[in-house]
Chain A
Amino acid sequence: MQNLYLPYQMRIEKIVEESPEKDLKTFELSFLDSQDAVDCKYLPGQFAEVSILGIGEAPFGIASAPCETGLVRFSVKKAGLFTENLHQAEVGDIIGLRGPLGNSWPLEKLKGKDIVIIGGGFAFTTLRSMIRFIIEPKNRKDFGQVDIVYGNRNPGQMLYKEELEEWLTRKDLNLHLTIDKPAEGWQNYVGFVPQITEQVIKPSHNAVSLVCGPPIMIKYTLPVLEKLGLNPERIYTSLEMKMKCGIGMCGRCNIGSKYVCKDGPVFSVAELEKLPSEY
């Protein structure tokens, strides 16, 4: 058995500067050892610990989808010591990956259902993984209608701009992009995510919703979804916490008796309602 703390070695293949503020980058990584690519099987919604030798390790949601074989993608906002260092990395640098960790979006419960995806800001990563998973030809028949609302403060902050352009033209999903305030040349919606959600989403009786974004967006979006007829059992979100081990041992990422790293990061709103609001 491989030691739990030993990371896969990854080469940075591509770095995409995602926002004009230059505080958001997407890193595309490949496995140095081909066997690792086979062993590292993940599902949309899972996360991994990314490491830089001599600096440390931090958890990030996996933004790529399992069908994109051989590569793993993360989008990282510059915020603290580790992310500052990661942002200085260059193509060709070798970093570590430990994972996949945590549960995933509830794939079994999503099968055969209409999917409502609500995302905001740079928390769109694992939602992007889920969407990419759904539209993979061999998976698409497993899901019903797919409606997406993705909002940002301004157009420049949209993650994965090229891909979003392509998704806007697709017939097998309905993508609604929105920004907070009008901007020159912006052809899509203007308004906050909860507002646009209320306007464009008409969930069917069997719809399930996946929500990920800044806390303020989540706070105002959940009542909208409930008003639209989605009960807390049918709304899922993904949480973030400071983590170290990622495997339920180091003791810091708990909310009540649940560890976000091992029991989460994905929880239904019904599950969260039973936990103390300490997150």
Chain B
Amino acid sequence: MAKYLLTKKDLLIWLKKLQQEYEVLAPVKEKKVYNFGHWDGKSLPDKSYQNTLKPPKDLFFPQHEILLKYKKVKGQRPIIKAADLPEEKRVIFGIRPCDAKSLSLLDKVFLGEEYQDPFYQARRLNTLIISLVCREPKESCFCTQPFSVEGSDIVLFELNDKYLVEPISEKGKNCFPSASYCEADFHIIDKIKEIKINTYEEIASADLTEKLDLIFDSPIWKELQEKCINCGVCSFLCPTCHCFDITDNQQGSKVRNWDSCMFSGFTKQASGHNPRPSGTERLRQRVMHKFKYFPDKYGVVACVGCGRCVEKCPVNLDIRQVLLQIKNGGEKLECRM
């Protein structure tokens, strides 16, 4: 696909132009961490930007969301209305390729053949994804496709003082005035290869999925969970974890909140029976869901290697080590980092 070379100034002009039509969100530094926020219209992420603390999923699937609003009137039928669909047109600029890919995984869940979540769908349709390829990985990163274009409408590569722009989707092509810029020549495209990206051996490969098939009843889960405190931070910070709860609040709304398979109430039935009664079953569920059940259902693992769970786990339970341990038949191996 054609790539175009833009100076930093060109890029700013183009983004400014997009800002006339779209709400442009970009990585914004709050104290020491980055999160997506309103773009100030002038600055671009500097070298200190590696990735946002929170994954972008909440921009499409908010942690708390009103689904329905209702009003009870004594003696009359209640008035129930679906919440208005979000209409704001947005650009997300500077999203990392791993996180852009996570959106294509969430699409499989929320935009299925049979059922489409209307709120998620509206946000996806109204949002343009401009991803920015990493210059170098964080210590906790373990993605295998740093140049992945999946989930991106436009991909940007940073080359010293210039940017290489590659429109991917139709939506991306329509939003990029390619006629105004020069197509990059091969010499420049070759330079991309100089970007310092170490990719790691594929941790979640097909043989892992096969192995997981055999170890459902293995003692490995009990051993692994001894460390886990079931706090759920891994699932909240995971760009692909999508579990939620639906409840009625007392203010006349039916709401959706993020939930986690790490919590005991997640599967506990009214009778008191719980199919996943202890941390062992819950940790197993989380690993199995990402690396066995999701691939069985959708043909792809539900992990993009962003490393947030590795970084933020309060007890240093490293998913890379868990997977290697499973791969190597239960032996505890030090992660290669």
Residues of A with C-beta under 8 A to B223? none
Within 8 A of A (CB), among B275-323: 275-276, 281, 285, 288-289, 292-294, 296-297
Question: Which B-chain residue is minimally distant from A54 (CB atoms)?
Answer: B248
B248 and A252: CB pair below 8 A?
no
CB of B1 to closest CB in A, whole Å: 33
Which of B245, B254, B269 is in CB contact (< 8 Å) with A250? B245
CB of A77 to closest CB in B, whole Å: 9
Which of B77, B118, B266, B271 is in CB contact (< 8 Å) with A3? B118
> A254 vs B296: C-alpha distance in the bound complex, in angstroms?
13
A4 and B117: CB pair below 8 A?
yes
Within 8 A of B (CB), among A1-35: 1, 3-7, 9, 32
CB of A167 to closest CB in B, whole Å: 29
> A278 vs B116: C-alpha distance in the bound complex, in angstroms?
28
CB within 8 Å for A57 and B246 given contacts A3-B118, A79-B270, A242-B269: yes
Say yes or no: is A262 at the interface (Cβ < 8 Å to chain B): yes
A54 and B250: CB pair below 8 A?
yes
> A141 vs B334: C-alpha distance in the bound complex, in angstroms?
66
Which of B78, B244, B259, B289 is in CB contact (< 8 Å) with A254? B289
Residues of A with C-beta under 8 A to B112? 248-249
Say yes or no: is A113 at the interface (Cβ < 8 Å to chain B): no
CB within 8 Å for A252 and B115 given contacts A3-B82, A241-B267, A257-B297: no
> A240 vs B268: C-alpha distance in the bound complex, in angstroms?
12
Residues of B with C-beta under 8 A to A156? none
B266 and A252: CB pair below 8 A?
yes
Say yes or no: is A185 at the interface (Cβ < 8 Å to chain B): no
Say yes or no: is A137 at the interface (Cβ < 8 Å to chain B): no
CB within 8 Å for A256 and B244 given contacts A53-B80, A80-B270, A249-B115: no
Say yes or no: is A125 at the interface (Cβ < 8 Å to chain B): no
A252 and B261: CB pair below 8 A?
yes
> A94 vs B72: C-alpha distance in the bound complex, in angstroms?
10
> A247 vs B110: C-alpha distance in the bound complex, in angstroms?
10
CB of A247 to closest CB in B, whole Å: 4
CB of A39 to closest CB in B, whole Å: 16
Within 8 A of B (CB), among A235-274: 240-242, 244-245, 247-257, 262
**What size tier do the contact residues of chain A reach?**
35 or more
Say yes or no: is B195 at the interface (Cβ < 8 Å to chain A): no
Say yes or no: is B67 at the interface (Cβ < 8 Å to chain A): yes
Say yes or no: is B70 at the interface (Cβ < 8 Å to chain A): yes
> A18 vs B78: C-alpha distance in the bound complex, in angstroms?
29
A251 and B289: CB pair below 8 A?
yes
A5 and B67: CB pair below 8 A?
yes
B117 and A249: CB pair below 8 A?
yes
Say yes or no: is A168 at the interface (Cβ < 8 Å to chain B): no
Say yes or no: is A228 at the interface (Cβ < 8 Å to chain B): no
Say yes or no: is B216 at the interface (Cβ < 8 Å to chain A): yes
> A256 vs B216: C-alpha distance in the bound complex, in angstroms?
10
Say yes or no: is A279 at the interface (Cβ < 8 Å to chain B): yes
CB of A99 to closest CB in B, whole Å: 12
A250 and B259: CB pair below 8 A?
yes
Say yes or no: is B207 at the interface (Cβ < 8 Å to chain A): no
> A222 vs B230: C-alpha distance in the bound complex, in angstroms?
36
B242 and A249: CB pair below 8 A?
yes
> A81 vs B78: C-alpha distance in the bound complex, in angstroms?
21
Question: Which B-chain residue is minimally distant from A245 (CB atoms)?
Answer: B246
A251 and B270: CB pair below 8 A?
no
Say yes or no: is B109 at the interface (Cβ < 8 Å to chain A): yes
A242 and B267: CB pair below 8 A?
yes
Residues of B with C-beta under 8 A to A254? 285, 289, 293
Residues of B with C-beta under 8 A to A80? 269-271
CB of A104 to closest CB in B, whole Å: 15
> A1 vs B122: C-alpha distance in the bound complex, in angstroms?
13
Residues of A with C-beta under 8 A to B68? 3, 5-6
Say yes or no: is B226 at the interface (Cβ < 8 Å to chain A): no
CB of B240 to closest CB in A, whole Å: 11
B248 and A94: CB pair below 8 A?
no
Residues of A with C-beta under 8 A to B292? 256-257
CB of A257 to closest CB in B, whole Å: 4
Say yes or no: is B139 at the interface (Cβ < 8 Å to chain A): no
> A254 vs B246: C-alpha distance in the bound complex, in angstroms?
17
Say yes or no: is B243 at the interface (Cβ < 8 Å to chain A): yes
CB within 8 Å for A252 and B216 given contacts A5-B82, A54-B72: no
Residues of A with C-beta under 8 A to B248? 51, 53-57
18 contacts between A and B (CB under 8 A): A4-B115, A53-B70, A55-B248, A56-B246, A58-B270, A79-B270, A79-B271, A94-B77, A94-B78, A242-B267, A244-B244, A245-B244, A250-B245, A251-B244, A252-B259, A254-B293, A256-B288, A256-B293
The 4 closest A-B pairs by CB, nearest first: A80-B270, A251-B243, A3-B82, A257-B296
